[in-house]
Structure 1
């Protein structure tokens, strides 16, 4: 293990139990901080309501750690928006945020636009497909940011149980992480090798940093943020927190392959000399008539840093 990674693991890896919500409220008041929780959502009516309700009950009403809960709906066809609003979130449609800039498909677009739709100095991102959500996820991610001003971005780490035909594999989730993201980081950005869950959908950061980096529109957003933020702020500005166990829905292997393709595109775009990689992914299905090929476009679109967008629009007088 590289000495810098070993040192970083010792000094920048925490556990959620280190902090209690009430103590962080005091730290938040001392620093004059504000906190926004963002849930990007697409057809998550089954889970989003329980997550919002838990955050509102435990971290807004019982203990005022969170100032706003915003669900960014990416065009759901189910009752995601209605369920989230009924649970206490402010729901915004991705198409209604910065409409002059249009909309792109993908989770990263919702995260990028959430920077404009929220007001908090600290922003916590939480995936909306979590099952048995625990409010300590938010508490744990905010802990380093509210107690150490040198830390600007915090990733979650956790076990991800995978349900199979043979039962539950306690840590079998995260197949794209182990097969794609971790080898890429170790090969090209070895200083980031200490991140246990580099693709985790739960993380928090200071607006000041998040608005200085681009956001990839698709599934490469998490890897892109890691690479860009370490280049911007340095390794010691990044940290990770052990949240225990994360339960969520799992996708089929073919869908994971498309996710992996977008992650690879994101990585190659950031590697000097990487050029413009082929964006088509060819997959195969076995049908009654034999093998059928399916072609997917896994190219990604990058949104520029929000700070640059805001400055350009203000010069034009179009910021809204």
Structure 2
């Protein structure tokens, strides 16, 4: 029998659900005047973003979803045009709060998406999903609309990779899960702590910082656990997820950003004090000549800047 701590076992029972637990009609009735924004961060996703927007617009817009926003994150293809043609509002990442300048990264797109929308509840959906269904949106909204004590909901799913039904999520299994189990075992019950599909109450999302890069998701979970407690967090089984997979070297850079964020939180919350902070430079090697003997050294700065809580900026002139 699987052995887990009593706290995790209780949380898994109370705070885990499936997208089929609610119908759209159930959620429309539970909405009671609340407004919902869907934010889709997208960088060079012209092949997939249009179908995602179309599905949400046709199935849920005006019924359960009030706003669909695509944040174009420095795309060099027709992502913005495709998203707009499908019926989304589209903003360029750096055009939101321009007085603050721009930072590169997914977390920056998410933060700008919160700033540019107005819904009481915000649902995040990645822009690279294939076979997308609006069950993702209804599933994530279910706990928030039906239980006022839930502040933030993570999705989880089967992630196929080649012949492996759950071969995706390599950074989760090799980096995020071991480190969370070591330092924040309270979060061990999350099936996919790095999932890009999640939702939260606006006042909650505006109260936490957003790491600008791929550390954003693990930063959210740790910050919310420390500030709100485990019972304010929930997770929903969304079925399966098919998306564009990253190269191994790209996953290495992602893993480094996640580790930087986690070590920053260890210091911030006094869980581990180090005399020397971790180095931020990642050295990788790229194949050079076709004979495979030459290697090009590639250096990536993993420094993880973050945006402050949006509610801390409300009194400033940031228009």
Aligned to 1:82: 81
Higher mean C-alpha deviation, range 271-280 or range 9-18: 271-280
CA shift in 2, pair 1:287/1:232, >3 Å: same
Q: Tell me whether 278-287 or 107-116 shows the greater mean CA deviation.
A: 278-287
Q: Which residue is 2:36 aligned to?
A: 35
Measured after TM superposition, the shift of residue 286 of structure 1 is: 3.2
Question: How much does 1:295 deviate?
Answer: 1.0
Q: Given the alignment, which residue of 295, 307, 313 partners 1:309?
A: 313
48-57 or 288-297: bigger deviation: 288-297
Matched with 2:99 is 100
Distance 1:287 1:102 in 2: 36
Cα distance in 1 between the residues matched to 2:74 and 2:170: 27
SS in 1 for 2:314: helix
SS, match of residue 61 in structure 2 = helix
3-state SS of 1:177 partner: helix
Structure 2 partner of 1:55: 56
**Counterparts of residues 154-165 of structure 1 (less than 5 Å):** 154-163=153-162
1:297 corresponds to: 301
Q: Show the counterpart of 2:45.
A: 44
Q: In the aligned structure 2, how far is the partner of 1:75 from the partner of 1:174?
A: 25
Return the offset for 1:291.
Answer: 2.6
In structure 1, C-alpha distance between the alignment counterparts of 2:8 and 2:167, rounded to whole Å: 24
Counterpart position of 2:287: 286
1:17 Cα shift? 0.4
Superposed CA deviations along residues 57-80 of structure 1, whole A, max 9, x for unmatched, are 00115xx00000000111111000
1:184 deviation in Å?
A: 0.9
Superposition map of 1:154-303 within 5 A:
154-163=153-162, 168-272=163-267, 273-274=273-274, 276-288=277-289, 289-303=293-307
Which residue of 2 is the match for residue 11 of structure 1? Answer: 14
State the SS of the aligned residue for 1:262: helix
TM-align CA RMSD: 1.0
Is 1:70 aligned to residue 65 of structure 2?
Answer: no
Moved more, 292-301 or 196-205: 292-301
Partners of 1:41 and 1:120 lie apart in 2 by 20
Instruction: Check conservation: 2:159, 2:167, Cα contact below 8 A.
Output: yes
Query: Aligned equivalents of 1:233 and 1:207: distance in 2?
Result: 14
Q: Give the Cα–Cα distance (whole angstroms) in 2 for the partners of residues 310 and 304 of structure 1.
A: 11
Aligned to 2:270: none
Q: Following the alignment from structure 1 to structure 2, what is the Cα–Cα distance between the partners of residues 7 and 162?
A: 32
Matched residues in 1 for 2:123 and 2:197: separation? 7
Residue equivalent to 1:142:
141
Aligned residues: 307
- Taking the aligned partners of 2:36 and 2:75, their CA distance within structure 1 comes to 26
The alpha carbon displacement at 1:128 in A equals 0.3
- Per the TM alignment, residue 276 of structure 1 is displaced from its structure 2 partner at its CA by 3.1
Tell me the TM-score normalised to structure 1 length: 0.94
- Residue segments in structure 1 that go unaligned for 5+ positions in a row: none
Q: Unaligned stretches of 5+ in structure 2?
A: 268-272
SS at match of 2:239: strand
Distance 1:44 1:115 in 2: 20
TM-score, normalised via structure 2 length: 0.94
1:232 Cα shift? 1.2
Query: Structure 2: how far apart are the matches of 1:232 and 1:156?
Result: 21
